[in-house]
Homo-oligomer: A and B are copies of this chain.
Amino acid sequence: MADDPLSTTFAALADPTRRAILARLAEGAATVKELSAPFAMSGPAVSKHLRVLERAGLVVRGRDAQWRPCTLDATPLREVAEWTDGYRRFWDDSHRRLDAYLERMKEQEDDH
């Protein structure tokens, strides 16, 4: 995996377990134990997933006695949304119609 921020974010999101963790954290902070609960997977495995999310800046781990409360930080997703938006015209029908319109305008220009 490349180490530029966008690649790191995309790589972190390329796993259903990690996306489920983010979905859970969207409802509020949670401990590692609480996050592991839904998964048929050992503690260390979840811990590794959290580390990937943390390195991507999507999760922040605090500390409260023996608990490590995790919170969501969605700011890296903003870049993802912006990147994806650059391709919106390739699937969004309304944008496609605008493109076609601009294309016709351009052809008219060329006819002059």
Residues on A close to B: CB < 8 A?
1-2, 4, 6-8, 10-11, 13-17, 19, 22, 26, 72-75, 77-78, 80-81, 83-88, 90-92
Residues on the B chain within 8 Å of A10, using CB = 10-11, 13-14
Given A77-B87, A80-B84, A90-B77, A2 and B26 contact (CB-CB distance below 8 Å) = no
Q: Which chain B residue shows the least CB distance to A16?
A: B2
Which residue of the partner chain, among B2, B19, B75, B91, contacts A15 with CB atoms under 8 Å?
B2
Residues on the B chain within 8 Å of A86, using CB = 26
Residues on the B chain within 8 Å of A7, using CB = 14-16, 19
Report the Cα distance A76→B7, complex, angstroms. Answer: 17
